């Protein structure tokens, strides 16, 4: 009797254990709409947020960035900086590649070493003096201290060294990673289908199949969700408002990392004069123009990513004051007989916000011409310092404060410092922020830079933008990051 | 004397009007003609007289939305054509009555060989195979003196005269009882003209085909026709046998036509012609339709419409002079 | 005939060379640095330099052209600057969609336009004809973008009958093709109507009726065949543009086609892709013209006799003679 019971219990326990082991990934499939499905699945080469979004399910990056832009563990479980030029990454345990190979330290080292042959990552590679590995630690020696290097590791995936070396160029589009999804099908430019990987060593994916499709027309994106052809999509603001009245669709709105700005060429007249620049900032009615934009924008007061520790709302921030602007201009000798005239360069077409700005400036006697250029020409103008004022925007996806700081650094002429602004104090602050090991010191440098930014105004930030999404109400657990990376790793679909 | 039962074609009081946005066009006004088997009728008149429309009306080919065809009788081979349904009419066209048109250059489909076009006419009316029809077609070509080795060529490869012969071949392929020839030689050179006429005479004799020869050329009429009808402004103004019309023309218009022919023996400075132009069929003169151009006209001519007066047996003329309405007027011959 | 075709194909070569030179240098000399555009506005200097070295962009323009042509002769269309893929692969993936759109539009347009045009000609000046005149104008004036959105809204969102994007199954093809053909249906059917009307006025049509041909035969064998000949030329000449791909359609319906590929390449100065797109277009236009000329010869015997071999003609005569006996 006891023996039979024992056998039966052993059998039942065995079954339960087996069931636990053989637990499959969730079922269910969803279709996700992106603006574009790229032509190359290597995120380091492709340089598109959409590609990074997709591949974040297939690869693990060395380090991850959370929604507050704090660094958290990725394929590297932890890291230390024994001195200013050395970084030691301790490899995380238990990662396995889709081909069954466990992740080893040489794979982690290879993730960095291979960048030598990726021209798109030449600047990252250029910072590395040497790489070595020992046990489960990879040691990176930099040529000089650089606080943005670590953060940059959040964009670098871990690859299977032996697979990549044997596959040659095919590694990119038939990827082997350590993530919870494998690439089941890839049609370049059209579609990526990800299949949940049953042998994923950690918590398996909740949705069995992710199909990514590219639709570049914004109106059509929302219509795909409306029609039930897709379960998740980024949408325009007007569709977001429409979606509120659709009970079958959930919506989400959150800030993105898009930073729009107005920049002036400080190396030539008329904007080599700080008062003139300040007048321009005073004449910009941030709150007032917001309604003119077709998107849901919010006012920003700094080039640094809002919500991070490095961001500070400077007391010197300039607010809308047309009268003061006029006073400043008159003091500089500009009036009706000698009006201030300049051209604003843009590349995005008709801009009602800039037109309103033009009108405001006209009301204080400033003659502004708005010119639109094809992007290549625009870049040329900017690089050759041949413009006077321009409008533009960019996105800093890792929350790196050094990006914003470089806007004022002479070492980044034509890259981030497109105002060609020269201030030794800013250069000094930048160097400190870049090389200091003291977090408090870095924060202080950033704070001071943001103060100077409003006092000197080589460029002034205008708006950030909310990103809107629409999705099926049965879809839950989607992680939407401000950088635009959408993760379905923990998502569930109850249909 | 004509026996009604001999008449192959008997058209009484044919009228064709076109209703357009600009008004009503009176193309044919009360035309009557008749023909016995094997006879040739010459329908003579200037351009715009309504000859072609008359021919089309007989074949039922006047386009019906703008046009309207009416007659008190259109009897062919003892059948009243007015009563025919379209599908029955088609059995007549090309089969019992054939028509050939003026310009051979455009009468043939450029994308079909000549044999195909003749064979098509044959197969429309006889239930034979393609191959048999082709053989018949080639035979027909030989009848019109086109060599067999040119049978599969396309119309553009033939000269004008040969094209017209092809057209004749098509028309006669089913051995029709009546052939309506609308100015068949007008577009051809004089020498070719003679050839084609020769051919037509030969075929007429061989096949005993009745012919309505529409022309403005009095010379051709004298060559081939037995009877003549002169048409003006949609009416037959004079009709009779060849001798009657040529020896004794009575209508002022007919005489004017003869008078305008250049005479090699006379020595004149100016060719005489009939003054004025054919009236606009949308706006016809009141009374006698010829009176505005007539040398002999009097006020009464603009009031009364002349009847078809019989001058001698079988010879009719539409003129008030022959109704005694113009006392003292006499039509001078050939003037 | 074969010699004629061969000659025409040979003539294409200097044309292609001339086009390649013009386009290459036009793109190359226009402002904008392909490396900077491909890498993004904030790319670091070293990155840009490395990229240029990799793709040979640091050499003088003439040298770059020769490198490109050299690659072409070896059968390689090069690698795209922005997608890093082989251009040949990019085209291979997109070709099917573009072919389906091009040929599908062509066939669907005339499948509807020809019968409709004939009907309009036969029912000339009826209320149907008059309404069609207005409708045709409306249809060809509708911007395809707006029309496409409308179609998606109606058939995908409201009625749920058809998929709203993608190009996988024939059901996916319906909306984009209809959107593409919509304007042409109006225009082409009126054009065909006019051509048929013109042809119907011809004497040989009257002749055919006088022969006793049924109206159906008159219409189709006599009128239509002659009316449609000029249509063949215009189709042949336009084939190249059909293949240009409708960028608007591709963007709206999320179709991965060559139109979008070439347009994006143009915007980003992705030279290898631009060149491939342009050269393919040129070849297609030239081939299209050639096909149109040949087709015309096939259909119109007047042209055919220019091409036909003297021996063939003799053969026909023999057949004719034996047939007669």
Cα separation, A275 vs A278, in Å, equals: 5
Return the SS3 of A449.
helix
Task: Answer whether residue B2 shows pLDDT above 60.
Answer: no
Picking from C33, C93, C164, the nearest residue to A189 by CB comes out as C93
Does A475 map to a domain? Answer: no
Q: Is C54 on the interface with A (CB under 8 A)?
A: yes
Q: Residues A356-393: pLDDT tens digits? A: 999 999 999 999 999 999 888 888 889 899 999 999 99
Q: Residues B315-332: pLDDT tens digits? A: 999 998 888 877 877 788
Task: Answer whether residue B4 shows pLDDT above 60.
Answer: no
- Cα–Cα distance list, A479 to A108, A399, A485, C1, C149 (Å): 26, 17, 8, 66, 30
- Kindly report the length of chain C: 325
Run of H or E including B211: strand B210-215
Are there at least 3 beta-carbon pairs closer than 8 Å between B and A? no
Are there at least 3 beta-carbon pairs closer than 8 Å between C and B? yes
- Cα–Cα distance list, C90 to A36, A45, A209 (Å): 14, 16, 25
User: A176 and A85, same structural domain?
Assistant: yes
Run of H or E including B312: strand B309-312
Cα separation, A385 vs A376, in Å, equals: 14
Neighboring chain C residues of B98 at a CB cutoff of 8 Å: 210-211
Task: Answer whether residue C282 shows pLDDT above 50.
Answer: yes
Return the SS3 of A71.
strand
Does A473 map to a domain? Answer: no
Q: Residues C18-33: pLDDT tens digits? A: 999 999 999 988 888 8
Q: Is C41 on the interface with A (CB under 8 A)?
A: yes
Q: What is the CATH number of the domain that holds A150?
A: 3.40.190.10
Question: What is residue A29's predicted lDDT score, i.e. its pLDDT?
Answer: 92
- Kindly report the length of chain A: 495
Greatest mean pLDDT range, A53-57, B35-39, C84-88, C305-309:
A53-57
β-strand pairing of B210-215 with B40-44? parallel
Contacts of C278 (CB under 8 A, 6+ apart): C19, C20, C23, C262
Q: How many CA atoms lie within 13 A of A6 on its CB side?
A: 3
Run of H or E including C267: helix C258-267
Alpha-helical (H) ranges within A254-372 are: 274-282, 286-289, 322-331, 352-363
Q: Is A226 on the interface with C (CB under 8 A)?
A: yes
Does A224 map to a domain? Answer: no
Does A229 map to a domain? Answer: no
A188·C83 Cβ contact <8 A: yes
User: A161 and A15, same structural domain?
Assistant: yes
Question: What is residue A19's predicted lDDT score, i.e. its pLDDT?
Answer: 46
Question: What is residue B189's predicted lDDT score, i.e. its pLDDT?
Answer: 85
Q: What is the overall mean pLDDT for chain C?
A: 83
Task: Answer whether residue A264 shows pLDDT above 80.
Answer: yes
CB neighbours of residue B87 within 10 Å: 8
Cα separation, C280 vs B94, in Å, equals: 54
User: A296 and A199, same structural domain?
Assistant: no
- The answer for A 403-432 residues in CB contact with C (under 8 A) is 403, 415-416
Neighboring chain A residues of C36 at a CB cutoff of 8 Å: 379, 383
Task: Answer whether residue A15 shows pLDDT above 70.
Answer: no
Share of chain B above pLDDT 70, in %: 98
DSSP track, A290-314: GGGSSS-EEE---SSPTTSTT----
Task: Answer whether residue C157 shows pLDDT above 90.
Answer: no
Closest residue in chain A to residue C42, using alpha carbons only = A415
Does A299 map to a domain? Answer: yes
Picking from B142, B157, B170, the nearest residue to C211 by CB comes out as B170
Does A234 map to a domain? Answer: no
Q: Residues B239-277: pLDDT tens digits? A: 999 999 999 899 989 988 888 887 778 777 777 778 788
Per residue in A128-166, is it b (16+ CB within 10 Å) or e — as a string?
beebebeeebbbbebeebbbbbbbbbbbbbbbbbbbbee
Neighboring chain B residues of C301 at a CB cutoff of 8 Å: 110-111, 113, 154, 156
Question: What is residue C316's predicted lDDT score, i.e. its pLDDT?
Answer: 52
Does A12 map to a domain? Answer: yes
Q: Residues C201-229: pLDDT tens digits? A: 888 999 999 998 998 888 888 888 888 88
User: A51 and A193, same structural domain?
Assistant: yes
Question: What is residue A95's predicted lDDT score, i.e. its pLDDT?
Answer: 94
User: A306 and A174, same structural domain?
Assistant: no
B106·C210 Cβ contact <8 A: no
Instruction: Show the domain range for A9.
Output: 3-207
How many domains does one find in chain A? 2
Does A235 map to a domain? Answer: no
- The pTM of this model reads 0.76
Q: Is C161 on the interface with A (CB under 8 A)?
A: no
Looking at per-residue pLDDT, the higher value among C232 and A72 belongs to A72
Average pLDDT over residues C286-293: 81
Contact A133, A106 (CB under 8 A): yes
Q: What is the CATH number of the domain that holds A404?
A: 3.10.105.10
Cα separation, C185 vs C155, in Å, equals: 20
Residue among B255, B188, B258 nearest B222 (CA):
B258
Looking at per-residue pLDDT, the higher value among A122 and B29 belongs to B29
Domains in chain C, CATH or no CATH each? 87-270 (1.10.3720.10)
A227·C89 Cβ contact <8 A: no
User: A147 and A278, same structural domain?
Assistant: no
Average pLDDT over residues B200-229: 90
User: A303 and A166, same structural domain?
Assistant: no
Residue among A350, A346, A349 nearest A377 (CA):
A346
Q: Which residues pair with A211 in a beta bridge?
A: A31, A193
E-assigned strand segments in A399-441:
none
Average pLDDT over residues C91-112: 86
A83 φ, ψ (degrees, to nearest 5): -140, 180
B154·C226 Cβ contact <8 A: no
Query: Structure tokens of B279?
Result: 């009236």
- The answer for A 294-353 residues in CB contact with C (under 8 A) is none
Q: Residues A409-468: pLDDT tens digits? A: 999 998 899 999 999 999 999 999 999 888 999 999 999 999 999 999 999 999 999 999
Query: Structure tokens of C88?
Result: 């040949």
Task: Answer whether residue B32 shows pLDDT above 50.
Answer: yes
Closest residue in chain B to residue C122, using alpha carbons only = B65
Residue A8 — pLDDT band, cuts 50, 70, 90?
low
A40·C83 Cβ contact <8 A: yes
The order of strands in the sheet holding A86-91 is: A76-83, A86-91, A137-142, A128-134
A119·C54 Cβ contact <8 A: yes
Cis peptide before A270 (omega within 30 of 0): yes
Query: C202 CA to chain B: closest CA distance, Å?
Result: 7
- Least confident piece of the model among A297-301, C31-35, C274-278: C31-35
Q: How far apart are the first and last CA of chain B?
A: 30
User: A192 and A340, same structural domain?
Assistant: no
């Amino acid at each position: 009797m006891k023996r039979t019971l024992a056998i039966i219990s052993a059998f039942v326990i065995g079954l339960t254990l087996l069931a636990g082991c053989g637990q499959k990934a969730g079922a269910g499939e969803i279709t996700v709409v992106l603006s574009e499905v790229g032509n190359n699945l290597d995120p380091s080469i492709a340089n598109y947020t959409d590609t990074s979004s997709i591949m974040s399910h297939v690869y693990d990056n060395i380090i991850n960035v959370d929604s507050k832009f704090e660094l958290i563990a990725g394929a590297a479980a932890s890291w230390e900086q024994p001195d200013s030029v050395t970084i030691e990454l301790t490899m995380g345990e238990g990662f396995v590649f889709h081909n069954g190979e466990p992740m080893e330290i040489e794979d982690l080292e290879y993730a960095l070493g291979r960048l030598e042959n990726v021209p798109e990552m030449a600047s990252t590679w250029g910072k590395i003096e040497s790489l070595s590995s020992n046990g489960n630690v990879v040691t990176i020696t930099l040529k000089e201290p650089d606080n943005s290097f670590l953060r940059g590791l959040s964009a670098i995936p871990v690859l299977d060294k032996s697979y990549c070396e044997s596959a040659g160029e095919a590694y990119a589009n038939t990827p082997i990673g350590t993530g919870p999804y494998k690439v089941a099908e890839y049609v370049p430019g059209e579609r990526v289908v990800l299949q949940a990987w049953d042998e994923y060593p950690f918590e398996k994916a909740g949705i069995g199949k992710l199909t990514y499709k590219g639709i570049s027309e914004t109106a059509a994106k929302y219509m795909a969700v409306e029609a039930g052809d897709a379960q998740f999509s980024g949408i325009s603001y007007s569709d977001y408002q429409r979606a509120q009245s659709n009970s079958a669709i959930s919506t989400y709105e959150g800030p993105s990392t898009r930073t729009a700005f107005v920049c002036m060429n400080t190396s030539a007249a008329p904007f080599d004069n700080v008062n003139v620049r300040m007048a321009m900032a005073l004449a910009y009615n941030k709150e007032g123009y917001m309604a003119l934009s077709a998107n849901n924008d919010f006012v920003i007061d700094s080039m640094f990513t809002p919500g991070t520790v490095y961001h500070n709302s400077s007391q010197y921030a300039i607010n809308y004051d047309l009268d003061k602007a006029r006073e400043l201009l008159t003091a500089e000798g500009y009036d009706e007989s000698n009006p201030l005239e300049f051209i604003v360069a843009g590349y995005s077409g008709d801009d009602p916000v800039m037109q309103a700005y033009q009108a405001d400036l006209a009301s204080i006697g400033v003659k502004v011409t708005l010119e639109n250029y094809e992007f290549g020409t625009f870049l040329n103008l900017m690089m050759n310092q041949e413009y006077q004022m321009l409008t533009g925007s960019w996105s800093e996806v890792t929350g790196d404060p050094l990006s914003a700081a470089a806007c004022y650094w002479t070492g980044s002429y034509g890259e981030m410092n497109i105002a060609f602004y020269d201030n030794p104090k800013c250069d000094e602050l930048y160097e400190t922020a870049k090389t200091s090991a003291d977090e408090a010191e870095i924060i202080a440098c950033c704070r001071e830079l943001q103060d100077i930014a409003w006092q000197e105004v080589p460029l002034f930030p205008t708006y950030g933008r909310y990103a809107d999404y629409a999705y099926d109400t049965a879809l839950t657990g989607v992680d939407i990051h401000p950088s635009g990376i959408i993760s379905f790793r923990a998502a569930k679909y109850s249909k | 004397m004509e026996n009604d039962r001999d008449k192959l074609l008997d058209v009484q009081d044919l009228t064709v009007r076109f209703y357009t946005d600009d008004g009503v066009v009176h193309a044919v006004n009360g035309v009557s003609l008749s023909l016995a088997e094997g006879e040739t009728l010459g329908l003579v008149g200037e351009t715009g007289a309504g000859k072609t429309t008359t021919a089309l009306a007989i074949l039922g080919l006047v386009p019906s939305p703008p046009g309207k065809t009416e007659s008190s009788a259109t009897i062919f081979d003892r059948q009243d054509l007015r009563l025919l349904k379209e599908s029955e009419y088609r059995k007549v066209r090309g089969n019992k009555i054939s028509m050939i048109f003026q310009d051979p250059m455009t009468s043939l489909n450029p994308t079909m060989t000549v044999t195909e076009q003749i064979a098509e006419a044959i197969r429309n009316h006889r239930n034979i195979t393609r191959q048999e029809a082709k053989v018949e077609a080639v035979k027909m070509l030989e009848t019109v003196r086109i060599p067999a080795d040119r049978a599969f060529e396309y119309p553009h490869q033939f000269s004008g005269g040969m094209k017209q012969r092809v057209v004749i071949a098509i028309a006669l392929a089913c051995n029709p009882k009546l052939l309506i020839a609308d100015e068949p030689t007008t577009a051809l050179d004089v020498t070719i003209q003679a050839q084609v006429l020769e051919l037509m005479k030969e075929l007429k004799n061989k096949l005993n085909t009745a012919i309505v020869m529409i022309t403005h050329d009095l010379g051709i009429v004298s060559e081939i026709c037995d009877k003549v009808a002169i048409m003006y402004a949609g009416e037959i103004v004079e009709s009779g046998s060849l001798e009657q019309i040529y020896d004794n023309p009575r209508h002022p218009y007919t005489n004017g036509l003869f008078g305008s022919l250049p005479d090699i023996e006379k020595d004149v400075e100016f060719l005489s012609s009939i003054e004025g132009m054919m009236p606009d069929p949308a706006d016809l003169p009141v009374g006698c339709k010829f009176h505005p151009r007539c040398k002999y006209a009097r006020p009464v001519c603009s009031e009364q419409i002349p009847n078809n007066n019989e001058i001698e047996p079988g010879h009719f003329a539409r003129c008030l002079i022959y109704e005694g309405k113009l006392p003292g007027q006499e039509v001078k011959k050939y003037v | 005939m074969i010699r004629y075709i061969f000659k025409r194909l040979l003539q294409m070569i200097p044309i292609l060379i001339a086009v390649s030179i013009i386009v290459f240098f036009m793109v190359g000399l226009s402002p904008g640095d392909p490396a900077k555009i491909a890498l993004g506005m904030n790319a670091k200097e070293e990155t840009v330099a490395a990229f240029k070295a990799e793709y040979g962009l640091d050499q003088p323009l003439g040298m770059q052209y020769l490198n490109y042509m050299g690659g072409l002769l070896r059968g390689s269309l090069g690698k795209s600057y922005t997608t890093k893929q082989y251009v040949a692969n990019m085209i291979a993936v997109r070709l099917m969609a573009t072919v389906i759109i091009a040929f599908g539009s062509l066939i669907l347009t005339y499948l509807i336009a020809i019968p409709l045009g004939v009907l309009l000609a036969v029912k000339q000046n009826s209320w149907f004809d008059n309404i069609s005149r207005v409708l045709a104008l409306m249809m060809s004036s509708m911007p395809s973008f707006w029309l496409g959105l409308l179609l998606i809204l109606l058939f995908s969102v409201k009625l749920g009958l058809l998929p709203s994007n993608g190009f996988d199954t024939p059901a996916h093809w319906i909306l984009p093709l209809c959107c593409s053909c919509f304007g042409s249906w109006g225009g082409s059917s009126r054009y065909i109507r006019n051509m048929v009307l013109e042809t119907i006025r011809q004497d040989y049509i009257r002749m055919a009726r006088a022969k006793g041909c049924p109206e159906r035969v008159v219409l189709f064998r006599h009128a239509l065949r002659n009316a449609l000949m000029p249509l063949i030329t215009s189709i042949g000449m336009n084939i190249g543009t059909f293949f240009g791909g409708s960028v608007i359609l591709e963007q709206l319906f999320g179709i991965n086609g060559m139109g979008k590929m070439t347009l994006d390449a143009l915007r980003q100065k992705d030279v290898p892709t631009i060149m491939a797109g342009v050269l393919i277009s040129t070849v297609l236009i030239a081939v299209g013209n050639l096909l149109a000329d040949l087709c015309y010869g096939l259909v119109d015997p007047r042209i055919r006799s220019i091409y036909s071999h003297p021996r063939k003609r003799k053969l026909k005569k023999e057949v004719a003679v034996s047939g007669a006996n």
